[in-house]
Amino acid sequence: MAGSFCKRKQGAIIPRGMRLFGRFFRRPAIIGRFANPIEKDDKMADFNQILDAGDVDGGIINVVIEIPAGSNHKIEWNRKLAVMQLDRVEPLAFAKPTNYGFIPQTLDEDGDELDALIITDIPLPTGIFLEAKVIGVMKFVDDGEVDDKIVVVPADDRHTGNAYNSLADLPQQLIKQIEFHFNHYKDLKKPGTTKVEHWGDIEEAKAVIRESQARWKAL
């Protein structure tokens, strides 16, 4: 452990991991009994203000991650508060088969931002955004409302060699898993209320995104 600690002038022992570029973190201001690490005038970034949908015509869009692949935590973007919110915990059997997120400055027919299914080998963390390549759309109905999912992969994927360029490039087993999940993930609460209608190609996906952009602009 030699060398893993450093001393302040007062002689306190501080782990090197608590330093940032050679300077110690400052303690947050204390208001009453509670720490307030955010300054008074600071505001949390709103994804819909700092990002748009991206280059839809070129097939490269911006996507924000809500739920990592493999998670049963239903995390949603709260547009009113501009924060990620844990809405509920689903049964583990219905953990998401892919990363799940949304496209900024879009509005689907259900009143929420247009959803995206992000295909990666390793789960992506909540709250990041990525440039993603559109490869198709899953046409989906949830309790009578259109709730389509745009299917994307990272725009720059050097692990796969950018091998996924359309839905036809995805493993058929993955397509079946995604379809099964969305047809059945509400079975314990509202059986039969969700349905995958069909899978659409890139041009159909772009059309869905453009329609959602128009709804957003009409707000």
Annotated binding residues for substrate, written as ranges, equal 74, 88, 100, 185
User: Angle 203-205-210 (CA atoms, 0-180°, nearest 5)?
Assistant: 95
Per the annotation, where are the binding residues for Mg(2+)? Answer: 110, 115, 147
Instruction: Please tell me the distance from the alpha carbon of residue 125 to that of residue 112, in angstroms, as a whole number.
Output: 21
The length of the chain in residues reads 219
- Identify the DSSP state of 113: P
Q: Whose structure tokens read 């707000």? A: 219
3-state secondary structure of 2: coil
The DSSP bridge partners found for residue 117 are 100, 151
CB 47 within 8 A of CB 105: no
Interatomic CA distance for residues 50 and 142, integer angstroms = 29
DSSP state of 26: P
Q: Which residues are known binding-site members? A: 74, 88, 100, 110, 115, 147, 185
